[in-house]
A and B are shown apart, each in its own frame.
Chain A
Amino acid sequence: MTDQKKKIFVVDDDQMFSSLLSDYLGGKGEFVVSTFSTGEECLKHLDQGPDAVILDYYLDSNVPDAMNGLDILKLIHKAMPHLQVIMLSSQERYGVALQTIASGAVSYVIKDKDGAFEEIVGLLRAL
């Protein structure tokens, strides 16, 4: 199989989390991962044609005035309606999940749940 690797964008202002996730995905050998600490950065690079975006819900924890994940999601959806976006959050709140799905996210993954990384890989493979 000489399938091209899937290009994945990870957007999270927490450098530790995005590093671990990108290492984990990179280690699977089937994804090429780029990380961005703000949604604005990610939007600037959408022309690289990612296969999926993994987007944190709260993006203003470390960078004040950064646009939040939901607004970025809406902008991504507007620019590339078919681009698959997986939303991340460390909050298990139904309302938040519903909101992101309603705004076009394909799924909503709780960051600190056991097996969150496996879940993300599963979702990416299903794309």
Chain B
Amino acid sequence: MQQISPETLAEKLSQMDLFQSVPEEMLLNLASQSRIEKFYPDEAVFLKNDPGASLYLILKGTARVHDEDYTVAKLSTGQCFGEVALLDDSPRSMSISANEPLLVARIDRDVFFGVLGEHPNVMQRIVIQLASSLRRQTEQTLKHLRQREEELTILVEQRTAELQRQKEEADRQRLRAEQSERAEQQFLANMSHEIRTPMNAVTGLTNILLHKNPREDQLKYLHHIREAADSLLIILNDILDISKIQAGKLELERTDLHVAHIFEQVRSLLSFQTEEKGLVLNIHCDPRIPETLNGDPVRLKQIVLNLTSNAVRFTEKGHVGMKAELLEMHGQSCRIHFEVEDSGIGMSEEQLQFVFENFRQATSSTTRKYGGTGLGLSISNELVRLFGGTLKVASKPGEGSRFWFDIAFEPGATGSVEAPQNAIDPHQSLRGLRILLAEDNLLNQMVAEEMLQLLLPEVTIVTALNGKEAVDLARDQTFDVILMDVTMPEMDGLEATTLIRQLPQPKCQTPVIAFTASVTTKEVQRCLQHGMNGCIPKPFKEEEMINALYAALYPEPSQPVAPSPFIEELAGGNPERIQRYLNLYIDSAQMGITRLQKALPGNDREEIRKVVHTLKPNFRMFGLEDLAQQAETIEKAILDRQDEEGVPLLVEVLLEGLRESVNKMSK
């Protein structure tokens, strides 16, 4: 313990502001009655809210004044603290702790007053000193608090800026990812386009030559060319399918599906090969299977066709069988077991392990002997998985193979299988047509022209090399139908169709069929959204051409078409309800037209704003995103009082769009 004499302590006390005017003998008296206390680093002298009635003088070391962890001030040798406690009984307002070994002298209240009470003059001076020290302390604390507040504000700003920066970085990365995904999709679409366009020429020209009475030997070569082109197309489609599946881009459609139909189509497609090989094709389709189911008929057919054509390919003699059996019914839903089996070459256990892998045939020699991309089974496997089933296989070398899978189906729309195609001969109904053909690729133009000449009696064909020419011709002449390539220089087919739809009646009604090499669902949707009536994928088949022409010229007595997936879903596919919604839209749009027309001359901003505000959500629900955007722009311009001069023009444009939408929905 450190020894400090009362004389030394009195000497130190005399140096304090508080005791400056106190006579020496009184200080000595105080010093001899005070206690010396020692504290270790971080040890508290007292804590906030502790009771206390003592004054402390630091003899050695430093201490900190703090509130929890936050240090408000630092005290060093010669400074005192706790002097407020001499005057009142409130608990301590701050904590004091030692920073390093700390030595203090403690003077208790009763000692203090006991010694000083005998000298009122001295006491008065000291109380004044205490009061001013108290004021100083309060000011000091306030200053610290303000400083702290400023620090916190800066900290919050820094954190906010950092968060903002992180968010921007995340946005940038997301955007980059989206862009690269779009680029990938675009590449896929482009590749499909680039390969299909020349293929169109090959198959198209071959078909034309086949119609031109070729010599016997030429006929043989032409058939080979067509077969080769068809195989190439199959390979191309396989590659596109597998890339779509791998990118998670392949989605199943939900529409009516007829199992018996699909079996019949597969049988008819394979009949030539089975007959040629002398194989028996056994087909069993359980009659208890509901006629109409809900699912993707194209993809189901692809699976069955792939499995069955594989079976035919790998079977030299004997039979190939395909069957569908009803496993169970739950109300209208059911589970169906599909199976394809053959008496072909079969596979070893080792081969079976890899059978569903991409580009894998049982052995590479099978490729040479039997052909195929080796993608078919892995595509089928993935497609079955998309249908919610698992493709399974059992096989032994020399004893044939058996593939099977079970799929659950929801019931399809009520009503029986659609009636077979109308009895009218489409070739005859399409007699004497005037067709405008817009296609920039001269080779493709020739193919299409020749094919149409061959297929359609007394056809007249006028050609255009780009969209601009097509629009001019459509305006100046009259056509029964327009075949429009989508990708063309100067003006593409979509823009051209939009312009044709703005021509005066009845020219704006001329059916337009897109003539496109990109066959993604998105592309087809894009064509329809731009007012086209149908789509023929290139390279086209004669049948597809005839069907598309027929459908465009003799549309089904109109079943109302839902304008957006939202409305379709809301109406549950019920045509009457779709019609009701269309009528609601037409009423609302017509009301909008009337009110906007009335508001426009007087430039009644408030009225315009009200109308576009009401219409905006309706546009969105009916898939009219362009109109919704326009409405939003107008509303914003009025609300924010920006570009106000532009509002009447914007309203004119919107009115035009509204009228067009009413026309479209009325059809």
Interface residues of A (CB under 8 A from B): 13-17, 19-20, 23-24, 27, 58, 60-62, 90-91, 111-112, 116
User: Which residues does chain A contribute within 8 Å of B611, judged by CB atoms?
Assistant: 61
Q: How far is the CA of A111 from the CA of B632 in the complex (A)?
A: 13
- List 29 A-B residue pairs with CB atoms under 8 Å apart, sorted by A's residue number: A13-B614, A14-B588, A14-B614, A14-B617, A15-B587, A15-B588, A16-B584, A16-B585, A17-B617, A17-B618, A17-B621, A19-B581, A19-B584, A20-B581, A20-B584, A20-B621, A23-B570, A23-B577, A61-B614, A62-B591, A62-B614, A90-B613, A90-B616, A111-B617, A112-B616, A112-B617, A112-B620, A112-B621, A116-B617
Q: How far is the CA of A61 from the CA of B595 in the complex (A)?
A: 11
Q: Which of A27, A58, A60 contacts B570 (CB 8 A)?
A: A27
| Given pairs A58-B613, A116-B617, 8 additional interface contacts (CB within 8 A) | A13-B614, A14-B614, A20-B581, A20-B584, A23-B570, A27-B572, A58-B614, A61-B610
Asked whether any CB of chain A lies closer than 8 Å to the CB of B628, the reply is yes
B588 to chain A, nearest CB (A): 4
Say whether B610 contacts A60, CB under 8 Å.
Answer: yes
Say whether A24 contacts B570, CB under 8 Å.
Answer: yes
A93 to chain B, nearest CB (A): 9
Which secondary structure dominates chain B's binding surface?
A: helix
Type the 1/0 row for B600-623, where 1 means its CB is closer than 8 Å to any CB of A. Answer: 000000000011011011111100
Q: How far is the CA of A105 from the CA of B591 in the complex (A)?
A: 31
Closest B residue to A110 using CB positions = B617
Closest A residue to B591 using CB positions = A62
Q: How far is the CA of A15 from the CA of B610 in the complex (A)?
A: 15
Q: How far is the CA of A13 from the CA of B617 in the complex (A)?
A: 13
Q: Which of B587, B588, B610, B613 contacts A91 (CB 8 A)?
A: B613
Say whether B610 contacts A14, CB under 8 Å.
Answer: no
B606 to chain A, nearest CB (A): 10
User: Which residues does chain A contribute within 8 Å of B610, judged by CB atoms?
Assistant: 58, 60-62
User: Which residues does chain B contribute within 8 Å of A14, judged by CB atoms?
Assistant: 588, 614, 617-618
Closest B residue to A116 using CB positions = B617
User: Which residues does chain A contribute within 8 Å of B584, judged by CB atoms?
Assistant: 15-16, 19-20
Q: How far is the CA of A112 from the CA of B577 in the complex (A)?
A: 21
User: Which residues does chain A contribute within 8 Å of B616, judged by CB atoms?
Assistant: 90, 111-112
User: Which residues does chain A contribute within 8 Å of B591, judged by CB atoms?
Assistant: 62
- Residues from 568 to 588 in B contacting A, C-beta threshold 8 Å: 570, 572, 577, 581, 584-585, 587-588
Q: Which of A16, A23, A60, A61 contacts B587 (CB 8 A)?
A: A16
Q: Which of A60, A62, A90 contacts B617 (CB 8 A)?
A: A90
User: Which residues does chain B contribute within 8 Å of A19, judged by CB atoms?
Assistant: 581, 584
Q: How far is the CA of A24 from the CA of B621 in the complex (A)?
A: 12
User: Which residues does chain A contribute within 8 Å of B585, judged by CB atoms?
Assistant: 16
Closest B residue to A58 using CB positions = B613
- Residues from 603 to 656 in B contacting A, C-beta threshold 8 Å: 610-611, 613-614, 616-621, 628, 635
The listed residue with most A CB atoms (<10 A of its CB), out of B585, B587, B610, B614, is: B614
Query: Given known contacts A24-B570, A27-B572, A112-B628, is B618 in contact with A16 (CB within 8 Å)?
Result: yes
B593 to chain A, nearest CB (A): 14
A38 to chain B, nearest CB (A): 14
B619 to chain A, nearest CB (A): 8
Q: How far is the CA of A19 from the CA of B582 in the complex (A)?
A: 12
Q: How far is the CA of A23 from the CA of B568 in the complex (A)?
A: 13
The 4 closest A-B pairs by CB, nearest first: A112-B617, A111-B617, A112-B620, A61-B610
User: Which residues does chain A contribute within 8 Å of B619, judged by CB atoms?
Assistant: 112
Closest A residue to B619 using CB positions = A112
User: Which residues does chain B contribute within 8 Å of A13, judged by CB atoms?
Assistant: 614
Closest B residue to A56 using CB positions = B614
Type the 1/0 row for B340-355, where 1 means its CB is closer than 8 Å to any CB of A. Answer: 0000000000000000
Q: How far is the CA of A45 from the CA of B606 in the complex (A)?
A: 30
Q: How far is the CA of A79 from the CA of B370 in the complex (A)?
A: 81
B310 to chain A, nearest CB (A): 43
Closest A residue to B611 using CB positions = A61
The listed residue with most A CB atoms (<10 A of its CB), out of B581, B613, B619, B635, is: B613
Q: How far is the CA of A90 from the CA of B621 in the complex (A)?
A: 12
Closest A residue to B586 using CB positions = A16
Q: How far is the CA of A16 from the CA of B628 in the complex (A)?
A: 15
Q: How far is the CA of A14 from the CA of B621 in the complex (A)?
A: 13
Type the 1/0 row for B393-420, where 1 means its CB is closer than 8 Å to any CB of A. Answer: 0000000000000000000000000000
User: Which residues does chain B contribute within 8 Å of A90, judged by CB atoms?
Assistant: 613, 616-617
Q: How far is the CA of A27 from the CA of B581 in the complex (A)?
A: 15
Say whether B570 contacts A16, CB under 8 Å.
Answer: no
A29 to chain B, nearest CB (A): 12
Closest A residue to B635 using CB positions = A91
Q: How far is the CA of A27 from the CA of B611 in the complex (A)?
A: 29
Closest A residue to B567 using CB positions = A20
Say whether A20 contacts B570, CB under 8 Å.
Answer: yes
Q: How far is the CA of A23 from the CA of B591 in the complex (A)?
A: 22
Q: How far is the CA of A58 from the CA of B614 in the complex (A)?
A: 9
Q: How far is the CA of A14 from the CA of B589 in the complex (A)?
A: 11
User: Which residues does chain A contribute within 8 Å of B617, judged by CB atoms?
Assistant: 14, 17, 90, 111-112, 116
Q: How far is the CA of A116 from the CA of B616 in the complex (A)?
A: 14
B487 to chain A, nearest CB (A): 30
User: Which residues does chain B contribute within 8 Å of A27, judged by CB atoms?
Assistant: 570, 572
